[in-house]
Structure 1
Amino acid sequence: MYHLVFSADENYIKYTSVLITSIVLNTDKSKKIQDFSKNSNVKNEKYFFHILSNFISDKTREKLLNLQNDLNIIFPCEIIIHIKNDEDFKNFPISGAAHSLKLPYYRLKLSSIFNENIEKCLYLDSDMLCICDIREVFAIDLKGRVVGVVGDPGSKKSKIKFKENNKKKTFYFDENYFNSGFLLINLEEYKKYDIEQKCEELASKCYYIKAADQDLLNATIETKLRYKLDFAYNFNIITLFYTICKDERKNRLNYTRAEFNEALKNPKILHYGEKPWKFLKSYFDYKGNNINDYWWNMANKTPVFGEELFREKQDIKDYLLYAGLGYEVLRSVQKVNFFKIYHLVKSTKKDLFYMDQASKINDDIFGLCCMLGESILHARKHKKDFFGVYLKALKMIHNFKKYHY
């Protein structure tokens, strides 16, 4: 038995369904778990997909049952719903992904949904896509560690601030900081080290925390209790924009350039920062393919929910504004045109024109333009100064030129 866990609210279920479908369709039925690990004691090869949520309507439950029945024909599987309550997480701060709902924290109480005889589970964020046989993940020997993790590509200069015994304290993260979108959990060790309770205790003391559950897990699971896995198992697509590796600068992606390049050539699980249901186009992979097309190709094969997704696809246009604005920023930086950047931040009059221009942007800089455009939209929303946008754009363009694969 293979136990996989996702967290999704009512609106996110349709995206989770694509991930679930990708797991089933990429399972090689000609193989058994012993083909991945001779030491495996798994006998019942069946997927149990556990969905943690705050609410799922009867209509969506029926859709999930139909999805299960269709996929079960391909490979044995079952979808199980677990409803949690935000009140159970009242001691957890509003932060990062948990800016409005406490749903991201639900994964911290995994052990409560499993009985004692289940040894291992895999948590995956719903904005992922599996392109390998997931059983190879379950075949990984964690060597007694609490969790198998993949390093996070962002800067490791973040921290948690909390109060203990009326004293302010700070916990600083280091190069071993991992991304909580992928967690291969040794449930016995997870319970043994009381990770859930430690997370709740720390959360109740925090007065500054940026990345919600991810920060809490990084602060409570010691480095020696983690088993570091290849970046391919949580290939964050932002690294297709540019990647700074540990042999190039401290406190960045905790993999060498050679290790990253191996993952780049053969990613196993894609993690979408720029969501395919918002961006029809963003970055291009090692083979020159639009990374978002992989997700939409799987959505096309997804039972029950696929038709709904493709109806919504017709209305996805906002990413064109990101790209169009970003292209103007790129041209303005190259010409040191401060007035144009000021105009982009302050005025929306030409936004439709910029959207139309997005179709003319070359694929090799499309992702860069999307990110530059995001800086304009962020500045508009938060009433930021245009010169800050210029400096940020300079840094982005420099890093793109130097570290883009």
Structure 2
Amino acid sequence: MYHLVFSADENYIKYTSVLITSIILNTDKNKKIQDFDKNSNIKNEKYFFHILSNFVSDKTREKLLNLQNALNEIFPCKIIIHIKNDEDFENFPTSGAAHSLKLPYYRLRLSSIFDESIKKCLYLDSDMLCMCDIRELFSINLKDKIVGVVGDPGSKKSKIKFKENDKKKIFYFDENYFNSGLLLINLEEYKKHSIEQKCEELASKCYYIKAADQDLLNATIHYKHQLKLDFAYNFSTIAFCYVICKDENKNRLNYTRNEFNKSIKNPKILHYGEKPWRFLKSYFDYKGTNINEYWWDMAIKTPIFNEELLKSKKNITNHLLCAGLGRELFNAALKFNFPKIKFLIKNTSNDEKYMQRAESIEDDFFGICCILGIAISYARSHKKNLFSVYLKALKMIYNFKKYHFRSRI
């Protein structure tokens, strides 16, 4: 038996269904777990998909049951819903990734859904796409490690601020900071080390936290209790644009450039930053394929939910607006054109024109334009000044030119 856990609210379940479908369709029915792990004693090869949510309507429950029945024809599986309440997480701060709801924290209590007979589970974020036989991960022997994790590609200069005995303290993260989008959990060790209790205890003391559950898990699971997995198993898609490896800066991705180059040639699980249901186009992979097409190809194959997903696809234009704005910012930043940057932030009158221009942006350039355009959108909604946008843009443009993967392989 293979137990997989997801967190999804009512709206996100349709995206979770695509991930679940990708896991089923990438399972090789001609292979057994023993082909991945000769010492495995698993006989009942069946997937149990656990969805943690705050609410699931009767209509969506029926859809999930029909999805289960359709996928069960391909490979044995069962979908199980677990309802949690935000009130159960009142000690957890509402900030950063958990600014609007407490759903990101739900995974911190996933062990409560399993009895003692279940020794291992795999948590996956719903904005992922499986491109391998997921049994590869279940065949990994965690031994006495608490969790198998993949390093996060972002900066490791973040921190948690908390109070203890009326004194302000700071927990600084280091190069071992991992991304909580994928967690291969040794449930025995997870419970033995009281990880959930430690997370809640720390959360109750926090007055500043940015990445919600991810920060808490990094603060409570020491590096010696982690098994570092290949970056390919949680391939953050921004890395298709650019990535800074540890042999270039120790505070960034904790993999060497050589290790990264192997992963980018064969990513096993994609973790989307620019969500395919909001961006029809973003980055292009090693083969020159728009990575969002992989997700939409799977959405078409997803039983029950495919019609709903494809209907929404017709109205998606966010990728064009962001890329169009981003190209304007790229040019303005390099020319120190501050009036233009200010205009991009304050004025939306030319957005339609920028969207039209985005159609002609070269593939390799499209991703960085999207990121820069997102910076403009953020500045508009959060009333940021032009100099903060300018400095951020310069940094991103510099990193793109120096670390874009096609120039590093």
In 2, Cα distance between the equivalents of 1:314 and 1:33?
Answer: 40
The match for 2:219 is 219
**Deviation larger for 89-98 or 145-154:** 89-98
**Given the alignment of the two structures, is residue 296 of structure 1 paired with residue 322 of structure 2, yes or no?**
no
Task: State the Cα distance separating 1:241 from its structure 2 match.
Answer: 1.5
Task: State the Cα distance separating 1:335 from its structure 2 match.
Answer: 2.9
After superposition, where does 1:48-63 map in structure 2 within 5 Å?
Answer: 48-63=48-63
Task: State the Cα distance separating 1:377 from its structure 2 match.
Answer: 1.3
In 1, Cα distance between the equivalents of 2:392 and 2:334?
Answer: 14
CA RMSD of aligned residues (A): 0.8
In 1, Cα distance between the equivalents of 2:271 and 2:166?
Answer: 40
Residue type of the alignment partner of 2:104: P
Residue type of the alignment partner of 2:31: K
**Given the alignment of the two structures, is residue 174 of structure 1 paired with residue 174 of structure 2, yes or no?**
yes
Give the TM-score taking structure 2 as reference length.
Answer: 0.98
**Deviation larger for 328-337 or 378-387:** 328-337
The match for 1:244 is 244
Residue type of the alignment partner of 1:25: L
The match for 1:354 is 354
The match for 1:149 is 149
In 2, Cα distance between the equivalents of 1:48 and 1:379?
Answer: 42
The match for 2:309 is 309
After superposition, where does 1:1-400 map in structure 2 within 5 Å?
Answer: 1-400=1-400
Task: State the Cα distance separating 1:336 from its structure 2 match.
Answer: 2.8
The CA deviation string for residues 139-194 of structure 1, in whole angstroms up to 9 with x for no partner, is 00112100000000000000111111111111110000000000000000000000
Q: Is the 8 A contact 2:49 2:78 kept in 1?
A: yes
Task: State the Cα distance separating 1:97 from its structure 2 match.
Answer: 2.1
The CA deviation string for residues 48-102 of structure 1, in whole angstroms up to 9 with x for no partner, is 0000000000000000000000000000000000001111111000122211111
In 2, Cα distance between the equivalents of 1:30 and 1:164?
Answer: 55
Task: State the Cα distance separating 1:380 from its structure 2 match.
Answer: 1.4
In 2, Cα distance between the equivalents of 1:173 and 1:346?
Answer: 36
**Where do 4+ consecutive residues of structure 1 move more than 4 Å?**
none
Task: State the Cα distance separating 1:338 from its structure 2 match.
Answer: 2.0
In 1, Cα distance between the equivalents of 2:79 and 2:356?
Answer: 43
In 1, Cα distance between the equivalents of 2:165 and 2:14?
Answer: 45
Q: Is the 8 A contact 2:334 2:394 kept in 1?
A: no
Task: State the Cα distance separating 1:374 from its structure 2 match.
Answer: 1.2
**Deviation larger for 91-100 or 102-111:** 91-100
Gaps of 5+ in 1: none
Q: Is the 8 A contact 2:320 2:356 kept in 1?
A: yes
Residue type of the alignment partner of 2:291: I
Q: Secondary structure at the match of 2:204?
A: helix
Residue type of the alignment partner of 1:37: D
Task: State the Cα distance separating 1:39 from its structure 2 match.
Answer: 1.1
Residue type of the alignment partner of 1:224: K
**Deviation larger for 50-59 or 381-390:** 381-390
Q: Secondary structure at the match of 1:185?
A: strand
**Deviation larger for 187-196 or 380-389:** 380-389
**Deviation larger for 214-223 or 342-351:** 342-351
In 2, Cα distance between the equivalents of 1:51 and 1:238?
Answer: 26
Q: Secondary structure at the match of 2:150?
A: strand
In 2, Cα distance between the equivalents of 1:86 and 1:388?
Answer: 35
Task: State the Cα distance separating 1:224 from its structure 2 match.
Answer: 0.5
Gaps of 5+ in 2: none
Q: Secondary structure at the match of 1:79?
A: strand
Task: State the Cα distance separating 1:375 from its structure 2 match.
Answer: 1.3
In 2, Cα distance between the equivalents of 1:136 and 1:378?
Answer: 39
In 2, Cα distance between the equivalents of 1:234 and 1:8?
Answer: 18
In 2, Cα distance between the equivalents of 1:333 and 1:68?
Answer: 50
Give the TM-score taking structure 1 as reference length.
Answer: 0.99
In 2, Cα distance between the equivalents of 1:95 and 1:325?
Answer: 28
Task: State the Cα distance separating 1:386 from its structure 2 match.
Answer: 1.1
Residue type of the alignment partner of 2:66: N
Q: Secondary structure at the match of 2:258?
A: helix
The CA deviation string for residues 180-231 of structure 1, in whole angstroms up to 9 with x for no partner, is 0000000000000000100010000111111000000000011111000000
In 2, Cα distance between the equivalents of 1:389 and 1:9?
Answer: 32
Paired residues in the alignment total: 405
Residue type of the alignment partner of 2:158: S
In 1, Cα distance between the equivalents of 2:96 and 2:80?
Answer: 27
**Deviation larger for 117-126 or 331-340:** 331-340
Q: Secondary structure at the match of 1:97?
A: helix
**Deviation larger for 338-347 or 158-167:** 338-347
In 1, Cα distance between the equivalents of 2:5 and 2:385?
Answer: 42
